[in-house]
Amino acid sequence: MPSDSPILVPILGDQLTRTLASLRGRAMDDTVVLMMEVWDEATYVKHHQQKIALVFSAMRHFAAELQGAGWTVDYVRLNDPDNSGSFTGEVARAIERHGPREVHVVEAGEWRVLQAMEEWADKFPCPVTILPDDRYLCSKAEFADWAEGRKTLRMEFFYREMRRKTGLLMEGGEPEGGQWNYDSENRKPPKEGLSAPQRPLFEPDETTREVLDLVSGRFAEHFGDLEPFQWPVTRDEAEQAADAFFVERLPQFGDYQDAMVHGEDDLFHSMLSTSINLGLLDPVELCRRAEEEYREGRAPLNAVEGFIRQIIGWREYVRGFYWHEMPGLAEANELEATRPLPEFYWTGETDMRCLADCVRSTRSNAHAHHIQRLMVLGNFALIAGIEPKAVQDWYLAVYADAYEWVELPNVSAMVLYADGGRLASKPYAASGNYINKMSNYCSGCTYSVSKKTGQGACPFNALYWHFMDRHRDRLESNPRIGQVYSTWDRMGEGRQAAYLASAEAFLDTLEPAREGWAR
Ligand code: FAD
Ligand code: DLZ
Ligand code: SF4
């Protein structure tokens, strides 16, 4: 028999899953679910306006869905007069309201929030149980076991374990098609006029409209366009988005995974990260559906393997890596980069057409696809030597799918090599050639990608060599980089000096971001 004193179950904004560990098996008449819109979470970085709207709207829809199913939900809105502004403050107030006999909560996805949660047991008058978040395929302990004794933690080997564990794309213990990874078939440059079918766009309903009014009233100075707001905010909508992806875009996802086309913001990407990270979609279920598309002959192996690799490979891997490497990862700066983030990351005002387009997409959609984040925005930050903290704050603030557990490993380790190569075997540094090959950006750019130095030369060209030259001591012995230095040495002093002078002259023109954009 339930006692009068219920169990309090706080559910955070990225825990919007009906089968969450803290709800599973609980009796509805013995449980009060607590959901909280709090100022601290909305402002620990100044999130893109669409991101705040997405999280609040998805939270409100999820609360309504739970209530509809019979749960008691205590929902604290941002503008409620007594809202204390923090998770800890709101759980404390809810304990006063409901006098629970215990608090059951699923561990937070971010380090800073879990730290606060771990203090609840001492602060509150009732016992607090923190449950593992079992929505991931690989637990923290399992990742730690896998990482034990390894000097470097390469995704590829982890990924093979996850393939074996799930049986996804496996044939009697062997990978489907004889290869684990079809990455080399994920790099088709865009052909002239490449465009993808429009993904489903979701018009705001009354609940979302109310949230949009709240965000435009209270977060107007945050980066990004609030409208049009078209993200899926419920599990139903997220499933519609996934259905459309599997039918319309998955078949070409593999070929054009690394392609970039000016003004084509989604291409063949799934655009599902926001829904997966909120908890609206189950990542392994998505992989099983992708596999079915392959087995039924509707999508090729390079597309399906590529999609599955991003999810049970990269996504699971960065989550494990984050918890394994924190808190040091947030402070790491192996390359001792100190340059401030340029203002154009926020305004998009630059003559570099590739960067301007990626910032435009980021501002309008709170999204840019992977290769834009990695090889345009990230590559520039790496080779220009931008300070990791500023880059991390930028990525965490501007993308609707950004939570520190997934953002930080991608930014600090994959993009900036700030972890000294624990994650990546070499820095992803590239000159303008790479961007030219994989996009149509350069044809309309003020700069000339074929010009290496001097007036009008693509800045990526000189910055690339400036980067290689200034990190020679660290990188020369890396077998994946070493031969770059033979090329550099063969250039002779005159050409080298021209590259270095061009890069310096360009770096001198960069205007640092004004204070207050990110925090
Ligand atoms: P798709 O291209 O359709 O890929 C399918 C899914 O795979 C994604 O939805 C995502 O869940 C997963 N995935 C793909 N690549 C990665 C990756 N490298 N790490 C983790 N998951 C991955 N992803 C986030 O979810 N949040 C972030 O804050 C984030 N920050 C990033 C920062 C940088 C510098 C880089 C290089 C990548 C970042 N990513 C992040 C990964 C990736 O860019 C996004 O997941 C992807 O662009 C989301 O769009 P999509 O759903 O269309 O992805
Ligand atoms: C991202 C975000 C925002 C903007 N606001 C809230 C909020 O008000 N309430 C909430 O429960 N969650 C929010 N989130 C998501 C949290 O930041 C996320 O759940 C934690 O970072 C996980 O550790
Ligand atoms: Fe970017 Fe250089 Fe190409 Fe211009 S020329 S779009 S700056 S890579």
436 pocket-lining for ligand 3 (C-beta < 6 Å)? yes
109 pocket-lining for ligand 2 (C-beta < 6 Å)? yes
Q: How confident is the model at residue 152 (pLDDT cuts 50, 70, 90)?
A: confident
* pLDDT for residue 312: 98
Q: How far apart are CA 465 and CA 67, in angstroms?
A: 59
* pLDDT for residue 243: 98
* C-alpha of residue 296 to centroid of ligand 3, in Å: 41
The answer to whether residues 280 and 140 touch, using CB atoms and an 8 Å cutoff, is no
353 pocket-lining for ligand 3 (C-beta < 6 Å)? yes
One DSSP character per residue, 409-451 reads IIIIIIIT-TTSSSS-SS-----HHHHHHHBS-GGG-SSBTT-
Helix axes 482-509, 459-470, angle to 10 degrees: 120
User: In whole angstroms, how far apart are CA 336 and each of 322, 384, 412, 469, 503?
Assistant: 21, 12, 12, 14, 18
* C-alpha of residue 111 to centroid of ligand 3, in Å: 37
36 pocket-lining for ligand 2 (C-beta < 6 Å)? yes
Q: How far apart are CA 335 and CA 466, in angstroms?
A: 13
Query: Of 383, 12, 54, nearest to 212 (Cα)?
Result: 54
**Residue identifier of the C-alpha nearest atom 1 of ligand 3:** 354
Average pLDDT, rounded, for the chain:
97
**Residue identifier of the C-alpha nearest atom 45 of ligand 1:** 273
Number of neighbouring beta carbons within 10 Å of residue 382: 26
pLDDT in tens, 284-293: 999 999 999 9
Q: Nearest bound ligand to CA 277?
A: 1
pLDDT in tens, 415-450: 999 999 999 999 999 999 999 999 999 999 999 999
User: In whole angstroms, how far apart are CA 235 and each of 68, 173, 228, 263?
Assistant: 14, 34, 20, 29
Q: Nearest bound ligand to CA 34?
A: 2
Contacts for 414 with CB less than 8 Å, ≥ 6 apart: 374, 378, 423, 424, 428
Number of neighbouring beta carbons within 10 Å of residue 516: 8
For the segment 63-88, the average pLDDT, to the nearest whole number, is: 98
Residue ranges with strand state E in 96-226: 102-106, 128-131, 170-171, 174-175
* C-alpha of residue 273 to centroid of ligand 1, in Å: 6
Which atom in ligand 1 lies closest to the alpha carbon of residue 319? 20
* pLDDT for residue 2: 53
* C-alpha of residue 77 to centroid of ligand 2, in Å: 13
pLDDT in tens, 171-186: 999 999 999 999 888 8
Which atom in ligand 1 lies closest to the alpha carbon of residue 270? 3
pLDDT of residue 3 exceeding 80 = no
273 pocket-lining for ligand 1 (C-beta < 6 Å)? yes
**Residue identifier of the C-alpha nearest atom 16 of ligand 2:** 13
* pLDDT for residue 186: 86
* C-alpha of residue 311 to centroid of ligand 3, in Å: 30
Q: How far apart are CA 110 and CA 329, in angstroms?
A: 13
* pLDDT for residue 482: 80
pLDDT of residue 1 exceeding 80 = no
Q: How far apart are CA 237 and CA 280, in angstroms?
A: 9
Q: Nearest bound ligand to CA 376?
A: 3
* C-alpha of residue 202 to centroid of ligand 2, in Å: 22
Residue with tokens 């980067």: 467
Whole-model pTM? Answer: 0.98
55 pocket-lining for ligand 2 (C-beta < 6 Å)? yes
Number of neighbouring beta carbons within 10 Å of residue 120: 21
pLDDT in tens, 369-408: 999 999 999 999 999 999 999 999 999 999 999 999 999 9
Number of neighbouring beta carbons within 10 Å of residue 26: 17
403 pocket-lining for ligand 2 (C-beta < 6 Å)? yes
63 pocket-lining for ligand 3 (C-beta < 6 Å)? no
316 pocket-lining for ligand 1 (C-beta < 6 Å)? no
Percentage of residues in the chain with pLDDT exceeding 70?
A: 99
Which atom in ligand 3 lies closest to the alpha carbon of residue 441? 6
Tell me the two tokens of residue 250. Answer: 């998955």
* pLDDT for residue 342: 98
The answer to whether residues 429 and 415 touch, using CB atoms and an 8 Å cutoff, is no
pLDDT in tens, 304-337: 999 999 999 999 999 999 999 999 999 999 999 9
413 pocket-lining for ligand 3 (C-beta < 6 Å)? no
